[in-house]
Structures are given as structure tokens and as C-alpha cells.
Amino acid sequence: MSEAARFTLITGPMFSGKTTTLIRLLQEAQHTGKIIVVFKPKKDTRYALDAIVSHNAVQLKAISIPNAQAIFRYISQNPAQVVGIDEAQFFDAELPNVCAQLRKNGVHIIAAGLNKDYKAQPFGTIPQLITLADNHTELLAICAQCGAKAAYTYRKTSQKATFLLGEKESYEARCKACFKKH
């Protein structure tokens, strides 16, 4: 990771490889001798509580925390050169401030999150994180309907709450045309 890219952000729909990419970048940092610490929001209870896990079952040890400020508190008390954050869209409004402050203190940040919710609306603080990031990669999945590149997450159930934890039974990746069809 270059000095210029101290805050790397990975976004995209579900199944686009965000967690896989996050894990790869964190492991690369680890291999160069950096101390890495990985966080995930406590409310994401899918899979393990103490790891981030990709849909293809790759995983990395992580700490579940209740809010963004807890990242800052943990890093003030423990050594870390690179901080990983998965499911960044689920954190509160403090996350951009926390990332900016950590970067100022010389910590590298690699975060991943959904850029759009199931209504195709901006998800949490991701728009602010995109503005803040030194490097932003938007990943695409494969449309579950037609096989085209997919930038949208389609909810297959009729639940209306924005926060609905789920997997393939509840969500699929879709291209714009298939997303609009419903």
C-alpha cells in the first residue's frame, strides 16, 4: 500500500467480492510485517462473531464492536498499523470522523461496505467515506437473472426494514435492467 493510499475503500453490491478483497489486502499487509486489526459491526451476526467471512468461506479474525467510536478507543489502547473494517455501511454517523482521525494519526485503513441499500439508496455513511477515501474501488457482482455485471442488491423477500440480515435466501445481485423489473 503506498503512502498516498492511506484510506482504501471497497464498495459494491452483495456478492461482489468486497470481503474477499478486504481479506486479501489485509493479509498482504500482514505479510509485509504490519500489525493489522479488523473490525465488524456487532449487529452483523451472520457467520462467526469473531471473524469476517466471505461468501466463499474465506475468513479472518475480527473484533465485533457496537459503534464507530469503539474502533478509535481500541486503537488508542492497542498497537495497530492497518485497520480493516467490514460492513462499514452498518456503522453510525461517527465512522467518517473516526477514519479521518485514525488516518491523521498514521494508521492505514481498509474498509468495505455496501454502497447501495436494497432500494438503491445510499447506504449509511458510505457516500461520505467515498469522499474521504484516498482510493475507492467499486466492485461488481454477476446478475443472478441474466449474467450481466451487477451493481445492485435485490431483496427477494417483502420485508420493508432497511436492516435485514440475510444471505442468498433474502438477496441477490442484479444488473440495473433486472433490478428495475422486479
Q: Which residues are known catalytic residues?
A: 87
Query: Which DSSP category does 94 fall into?
Result: T
Residue selected from 173, 175, 178, 179 as contacting ligand ADP according to rule CB under 6 A: 173
Burial of 46 (0-12, 13-18, 19+ CB in 10 A): exposed
d(CA 70, CA 17): 26
Q: Does 158 bind ligand ADP (CB under 6 A)?
A: no
Closest separation in Å from C-beta 36 to Mg ion: 17
Q: Which residue has the cell 461520505?
A: 128
Site string for ligand ADP, 128-157 (x = CB under 6 A): -------------xx-x-------------
Reported as type and span, the H/E element at residue 177 is: helix 176-181
Which member of 19, 21, 89, 115 binds Mg ion (CB under 5 A)?
19
Sites for ligand ADP among residues 15-44 (CB under 6 A): 15-20
